[in-house]
Amino acid sequence: MQTFLAMGGYARFVWPAYAVATIVMIAMLAQSLYTYRRARRQLAAQEHKPHPRRRRKP
C-alpha cells in the first residue's frame, strides 16, 4: 500500500493529476444534476398554477 501510494517517487505529480480530473468531472456532474432538478421542480410548480385568462377551445 505504501509503495502504491508513493508511485515510485512521483506521488506528488500522479495523485494531483487524478485528483483534478476527478474533481472537475464530479463538479460537472453535480452542476448538471442540480440545474436539471431545479428546472424540473420549477416546471412542475408552474404547470400546476391555474391560468385564469386562458380558455380551452370548445
Partner 1 sequence: MQRFANPARFMKLSGMLLPPLAVAAALLLGAGLYLALFVSPPDYQQGEAVRIIYVHVPSAWMASLVYALVAAASVVGLVWRHPLAHIAAEQAAPLGAGFTFICLVSGSLWGEPMWGTWWVWDARLTSVLVLFFLYLGFIALVHAFDDRTRGSRAAAILAIVGVVNLPIIKFSVDWWNTLHQPASVFRLGGPTIAASMLWPLLIMAVGFMVFFAALLLLRMRTALMDAKLRALRFGAT
**Shortest Å, Cβ 55 to partner 1:** 13
> CA 11, CA 38: separation in Å to the nearest integer?
40
Q: Which residues bind partner 1 (CB under 8 A)?
A: 4, 7-10, 13-14, 16-18, 20-21, 24-25, 27-29, 32-33, 35-36, 39-40, 42-43, 46-47, 49, 51, 54
**Shortest Å, Cβ 58 to partner 1:** 20
**Shortest Å, Cβ 29 to partner 1:** 7
DSSP characters over 2-51:
HHHHHGGGTHHHHHHHHHHHHHHHHHHHHHHHHHHHHHHHHHHHHHHS--
